[in-house]
Amino acid sequence: MKVAICGAGVAGPTLAHWLLRGGHEPVLVEQSPTFRTGGYVIDFWGVGYTVAERMGILPAVRAAGYTMQELRFVDGRGRKAGGFSADVFRRTMGDRFTTLPRGDLAAEIYRSIEGRAETLFGNTISAIDEHKAGVRVSFGKGADREFDLAIGADGLHSAVRDLTFGAERQFEKQLGYFAAAFEAEGYHPRDDLAYVSYGVPGRQVARIALRENRTVFLFVFTSGRMSGREPRDLDERKAVLHQVFDDAGWECGGILQAMDKSPDLYFDRVSQISMDAWSKGRVGLVGDAAACVSLLAGEGTGLAVTEAYVLAGELSHAGDDYREALRRYEARLRPFIEAKQKSARNLAASFAPKTAIGLWVRNQAARLMGIPMVADLLIGRDMRDDFALPDYGL
Ligand SMILES: Cc1cc2nc3c(=O)[nH]c(=O)nc-3n(C[C@H](O)[C@H](O)[C@H](O)COP(=O)(O)OP(=O)(O)OC[C@H]3O[C@@H](n4cnc5c(N)ncnc54)[C@H](O)[C@@H]3O)c2cc1C
């Protein structure tokens, strides 16, 4: 089958990888003019880790990754106020856990198909017309083309979803937070292999030191902190972060100064996507486009690669019966993904506590993670993947 895939992030290239293995012909369409590396930092583990292993990219992913030692909550003077050793994640996951920039994971996936799958960078899908024998896809640039299927792997704000299923607001569940992230070079202080997090009610900022003297910062704040409409461009986003964090204390002054010099800033609502169906006719969705779990799940990339793997596997097994493949793909994954979405929503209150008492309770609870039995129980409960990865023999 010829398959148009919109989005070369995490899910798109994974889908292309497994479609190639099944003898299909994927074409990726990515809005960014080049493949983007770096970006915010993610934890990669669980069932997606196994998919990466089956793709043969695990050694490269681990080499790009970091073995974090500590999650440290600090107070306004930078003194430790709570936290725990990150060993607990590796112990619970049998050392199958690594931390790395999201774009670096995506790049390792993309490298596995580079030169073998056509990729249209700096382009998008602008229309999809389904007919009896396939789909006619129109692009932002260039002539229309015919495909057997069109798949949206274009993230939380998917254009393919908009085109096929309707406006995003029908499917988006806002979790009450905004998140922002940027990378800076030469920022000090640095704490190698520590995730250093500072919180005041409703606001949280974290810094993670990377190789080559780089640091990634992540801001999370409650939606109520932002007055006025959502910012639309880089300058407006920076202004909002100043408005919310200027008086927050700790290193916020220095961090905001570093942000002012940054040419790039991730800024978005923290949301989930919940749909009644992940496909319609010859159009399917995968990754955040289909069922974003949000950053609160800490596993969106792992789930995106898993969905892509299962979708490609089912397509290869079903022969020409794409309808049955899309049905089986969704039936296999929906209960698992919905459970992940539910547990992420349950976490929302403790992620960036809205009150001083909430912060104190969160820090005390984090201390309990220092007790191995408690940590294994809590992390095992929240992080275990209740999903048997099928083997499609690809
Ligand atoms: C701050 C933050 C922290 C996170 N932390 C973690 C974590 O610790 N662990 C974890 O596993 N997950 C984490 N996640 C979630 C994870 O990043 C996502 O779930 C994952 O990237 C989803 O992959 P995807 O391929 O579906 O979408 P994306 O990675 O968003 O990729 C979508 C791609 O589509 C392209 N695109 C978008 N629109 C169009 C268009 N119209 N036309 C063409 N191309 C388009 C984009 O440029 C992009 O390349 C975090 C997310 C955030 C925001």
C-alpha 356 to ligand 1 mean position (Å):
32
Question: Which atom of ligand 1 lies closest to the CA of 287?
Answer: 26
The confidence score (pLDDT) of residue 162 equals 98
The confidence score (pLDDT) of residue 377 equals 77
The confidence score (pLDDT) of residue 34 equals 93
Could you tell me the strand order of the sheet in which 118-121 lies? Answer: 118-121, 25-30, 2-6, 149-152, 283-285, 279-280
The confidence score (pLDDT) of residue 358 equals 82
pLDDT digits (tens, 9 = 90+) for 165-198: 999 999 999 999 999 999 999 999 999 999 999 9
C-alpha 169 to ligand 1 mean position (Å):
18
Burial of 87 (C-beta count, 10 Å sphere; 0-12/13-18/19+) = middle
- Whether 304 lines ligand 1, by a CB cut-off of 6 Å, is yes
- Whether 237 lines ligand 1, by a CB cut-off of 6 Å, is no
The confidence score (pLDDT) of residue 92 equals 83
- Whether 8 lines ligand 1, by a CB cut-off of 6 Å, is yes
- Whether 107 lines ligand 1, by a CB cut-off of 6 Å, is no
The confidence score (pLDDT) of residue 364 equals 79
- Whether 153 lines ligand 1, by a CB cut-off of 6 Å, is yes
DSSP, res 170? G
The confidence score (pLDDT) of residue 259 equals 98
Residue ranges of the chain whose pLDDT lies below 50: none
| Closest CA to ligand 1's atom 19 | 300
The confidence score (pLDDT) of residue 272 equals 98
The confidence score (pLDDT) of residue 43 equals 96
- Whether 120 lines ligand 1, by a CB cut-off of 6 Å, is no
Q: Would you say the C-alpha torsion 250, 254, 260, 266 has a positive or negative sign?
A: negative
